[in-house]
Amino acid sequence: MSGGSRPSKSQRTRATLQEIALRLFDEQGYEATSVAQIAQEAGVSHMTFFRHFPSKEEVVLEDEYNPLLEELIRGQPATVSGVERVHAAVLTGLERLGESDRYALLRRVGLLLSIPALRSRIDENLASARTAFERGLAADGEDGTPSLAVRAVAAACSAVLSAAVVDWAQGEGEQDLAGLVDEAFRALRGAV
């Protein structure tokens, strides 16, 4: 997702590594692509790769979206329900998603769903989103431990977001992602 500030050299290197890795995964397959190949193609050492990503799997798993979503949730009016705050924040975040970001997300989710080593780590990705939602929903000044209500809302919202994104990826990105996310959140809001 595009932000307002200019990315640092480290952020640019990280984005380049991820972009090259995804391209190589498409061209030669995930298993056939090595960290050394990714680093060489990016013009950096394999140690530089590992400074940005602890493993090849992390190139697919890690993204910059959760901190942005946390910030967007905090920016929502506290007078609306937690589900509504997350719903609005996610839609706002999707508006900021450029076409190349959308394509990279589609490729990453496709890899998560198709590569057994990555599929087993989907729960980690969900936990990361859930934690970002919890932090975004928690009121400033709390002791850092979200209440059961906040944890429940964050868990439901991360599951809803995941369901919509998986549906979108399984449809090869043909449907409108924001529309699917909106539909999924409306279903949750209608169920509670």
Which whole-number Å values give the CA distances from 6 to 2, 3, 11, 16, 154, in the listed order?
9, 8, 9, 15, 30
Q: Give the CA count within 13 Å in the CB-facing half-sphere of 92.
A: 17
Q: What's the CA gap between 139 and 150, in Å, rounded?
A: 10
Q: What's the CA gap between 100 and 22, in Å, rounded?
A: 12
Residues of each domain in the chain carrying CATH 1.10.10.60: 1-59
Domain 63-191 has CATH 3.40.50.150: no
Query: What average pLDDT score do residues 149-177 get?
Result: 95
CATH number of 1-59: 1.10.10.60
Predicted confidence (pLDDT) per residue in 14-51, tens digit: 989 999 999 999 999 999 999 999 999 999 999 999 99
The model's pTM is 0.84
Number of Cβ within 10 Å of residue 149's Cβ equals 10
